[in-house]
Amino acid sequence: MNFRITCCLAWVLLGVTAGFARDYQVDTQEKFDYISTIKLKPDDNILLKRGMRFSGMLAPKGNGVEGAPIRIGAFGVGKPPRIDAGGEHLAGVFLKNPSFWEVHGLEITNTNGKDEDQGELFGIYVLATQKEGVYRHVYINNCHVHDVNGMVAGKMRGGIHVHIKKLKKSIFDDLRITNNRVENIGGVGIGNNSSCGDVEILPDREVSENLWTRVYVAGNTVDTTGRNNIIARVSKDAIYEHNVLANSSRRDTGHSIFCFNTDGIKIQYNEAYGNVGNTENKDGHGESDRGGFDADYNCVNTYIQYNYSHDNLWFCGIMKKPGRNYVIRYNVSENDRNGIYFYGFDSQKSVENVHIYNNTHYVREGLNVSVFAEGRTPLNSTFENNIFYFEGKGKWGKKAKGINTVFRNNLYYNIEPHSSETQPHFAKPDFVGAGRSGQGIDLDTMSQLKGYQLRAGSPGVDAGIAIKDNGGIDILKSVVDPEKADIGAVEFVGPKVSSEN
């Protein structure tokens, strides 16, 4: 093949010598097909020409090393290079048993154009199998993955997925999926899974095995999926932030994002909307598992914080199978349609220590909303310093009393305090300008949520009870004095704010 290989003079004189980077510039279909047949070396670059379209699957071989990853990117000017897998290949880009790989700036599709199920398909697929080990440094950044499969369900296929299969003691370390646009996806937009990662919750401790480390999923827009937008599994201290999660689960029920088999995950600064399904039952409510966020089971030390949920069926799911230490704090729920909290697996009684505090819930008039969606039973939960604001008449749900569920120091408007409430504030919170946040907010600043700030003189200002280890900031990143915290998700700042129009 006549690849143009750019390198230093020593490369030209000495020939193929280890330690010199090679740029494989791919500007024909023939070169695209060939690149998957050779073994690449550390610091090599596969560069697809911008403005070109290629057919098939890019499945390069080899691995990089620390400080010298293998990169897939683009060269030239124009639109990103596009790979069309046509619904005939496993993925547009397939990395098998990879370490030290980076993928950047590609456009990828994988469909035959029909709405029917075309099989186990992905846009970008990373798979570890057959060889045990620690797979390190896999970065997928700034790619546009769209139109994968038909609009079908399934949790183990979709847009960008990273899986470990048929292994017993392997992990990924330093996995970053950032700044991608993933849309019109059959299955799940972004997901991971492992055959050997697990969290076991015992009466006196938790035992975890083979949890992935340094997982960071951020800045992605995931819109219109057959199942969930994102599933976060098998990780220790993972961070999922600044993602837009829109219009998920068009072909089966599922929360926009949920975690499973995780320890210490932080799901924060995300916007979720449009998870409403396609059908309604006789009570006027929709299908189960259709909230923006979900603390699922087999998880410990879960933080769902600083998020914005709107126009879903509800804000947050809480699963009642084994789970421990769930913190849901400083979130804003605006006009979620049928409920606010959904306690899943209603017959189960295993989840422990759910702490829900300093959230603001706003429901416009005309919505038929229960605090506890679908008549579900809250369990082992403490609600403190939250605002429940209904423009119309609010309601709790058929089993709202719950089991070992306590409300303390919450603020209520147009809904009676919970039956367990010990320090109710029954008053109008006096927001600056609530209910106007819209969609597509700035997830770095969350500034569109300033309307949920309280005015001077509001009954919620400085009325919060002290909560240990409360994170130190509100949803707008304003410092929270734990001894003088406000009620709700947004702290009052400054001596005076303008009146609401």
Give the pLDDT score at 76.
Answer: 98
Give the torsion sign (CA, 424, 426, 429, 435). Answer: positive
Residue 4: how many other CB atoms lie within 10 Å: 12
Q: Cα(75)–Cα(27) distance, rounded to whole angstroms?
A: 9
Q: Report the pLDDT value the prediction gives residue 287, as an integer from 0 to 100.
A: 59
Q: How many domains does the structure of the chain reveal? A: 1
Q: What is the CB-side half-sphere exposure of residue 463 using CA atoms within 13 A?
A: 25
Residue 288: the pLDDT is 80
Inside any domain, residue 496: yes
Cα-based distances in Å from 43 to 23, 97, 361, 370, 434:
9, 17, 50, 56, 52
Local confidence pLDDT in tens for the 501 residues of the chain:
444 434 332 222 222 334 578 999 999 999 999 999 999 999 999 999 999 999 999 999 999 999 999 999 999 999 999 999 999 999 999 999 999 999 999 999 999 999 999 999 999 999 999 999 999 999 999 999 999 999 999 999 999 999 999 999 999 999 999 999 999 999 999 999 999 999 999 999 999 999 999 999 999 999 999 999 999 999 999 999 999 999 999 999 999 999 999 999 999 999 999 999 864 443 444 458 899 999 999 999 999 999 999 999 999 999 999 999 999 999 999 999 999 999 999 999 999 999 999 999 999 999 999 999 999 999 999 999 999 999 999 999 999 999 999 999 999 999 999 999 999 999 999 999 999 999 999 999 999 999 999 999 999 999 999 999 999 999 999 999 988 999 999 999 876 444 443
What lies within 8 Å, CB to CB, of 28 at 6+ separation is none
Residue 482 has a pLDDT of 87
Contact 71, 94 (CB under 8 A): no
For residue 438, with 0-12 CB atoms within 10 Å meaning exposed, 13-18 middle and 19 or more buried, which class applies?
exposed
Query: Which of 345, 344, 272, 261 minimizes the C-alpha distance to 301?
Result: 261
Q: Is residue 325 part of a domain?
A: yes
Phi and psi dihedrals of 419, rounded to 5? -60, -20
Domain contains 487: yes
Residue 216 lies in a domain: no
The amino acid present at 45, given as its one-letter code, is N
φ/ψ of 31, rounded to 5, equals -70, -35
Whether 448 is covered by a domain: the verdict is yes
Q: Which of 157, 72, 137 is closest to 107 using CA atoms?
A: 72
8 Å CB contact between 184 and 283: no
Sign of the alpha-carbon torsion through 411, 417, 422, 427: positive
Its pTM surpasses 0.85: yes
Q: How far is CA 108 from the centre of its chain?
A: 21
Whether 241 is in a domain gets the answer no
Indicate whether 199 belongs to any domain: no
Closest by Cα among 58, 415, 448, 440 to 271: 440
**Range of the structural domain that residue 363 is part of:** 253-501
Domain assignment present for residue 386? The answer is yes
